[in-house]
Each structure stands twice: as structure tokens, then as C-alpha cells.
Amino acid sequence: AAGVIQSPRHLIKEKRETATLKCYPIPRHDTVYWYQQGPGQDPQFLISFYEKMQSDKGSIPDRFSAQQFSDYHSELNMSSLELGDSALYFCASSSRGGQSNSPLHFGNGTRLTVT
């Protein structure tokens, strides 16, 4: 079965640089969620989109922005990177987000290292 695809798998950036992470949801899923997981930490919710509109917002820094495109893929843009941004970034998708109890399915994440 098709899963959530994230790219790149690994990304190394220097402080103050920018990064763009991409997420391709499971076909026919219209909702995407972004989570950040620091070393030894549980995943923390950042932001979500339903039908290309932001549906919820968590602890996402102002330096980060995200959007969902017409084909439902999503991109997380991160600027002025800091050492503390080093983490695993997961994307998850579901169908009819907020309107049904469809579970979230996660991708394998992008490991971002800021040096």
C-alpha cells in the first residue's frame, strides 16, 4: 500500500540557512500534519492543513511556514535555522481531517541537522 512520502530523508544545513521539506500524502488523503521530534523526545505537533487551508497550529516558530498545494502535497519552509532546529520532521496524512476518525499515517521523516 502507498505510504506518506517525505523528501529529502536527510538534510544538513548551516545556521541561518533555509530549508524546505516536502511531503506527499497517501493518495486520496486531503489532510497533512507536520510534527517535530527532537532526540529522545516524543513528536510535537507543528501545523496542519485540510483542503489546502491551514486547519490547526501548534508550537511552530514564526521562522517556519508551510502550505498545502492543489495536488495535496505540502512543504515546510524553515528560515534562519538554529542549532535547536535539528530534529526529525514527520509528515502525516489522513482523510477528511477533523470530520472523521481516520487515523494519521506517518512518513519516515526528514532528519535535519543544523551545524
Partner 1 sequence: EDQVTQSPEALRLQEGESSSLNCSYTVSGLRGLFWYRQDPGKGPEFLFTLYSAGEEKEKERLKATLTKKESFLHITAPKPEDSATYLCAVSFGTSYGKLTFGQGTILTVHP
Give CA 44 to chain center in angstroms.
11
CB of 11 to partner 1, least distance (A): 14
Closest CA to 100 of 8, 28, 2: 28
CB of 100 to partner 1, least distance (A): 8
Contact between 39 and partner 1 (CB under 8 A)? no
By the 8 A CB rule, do 105 and 6 touch?
no
* Set of cell numbers at residue 1: 500500500
Contact between 27 and partner 1 (CB under 8 A)? no
Which residues of the chain form contacts with partner 1 (CB under 8 A)? 4, 31, 33, 35, 41-45, 48, 55-56, 58, 88, 90, 92, 94, 97-98, 100-101, 103-109, 111
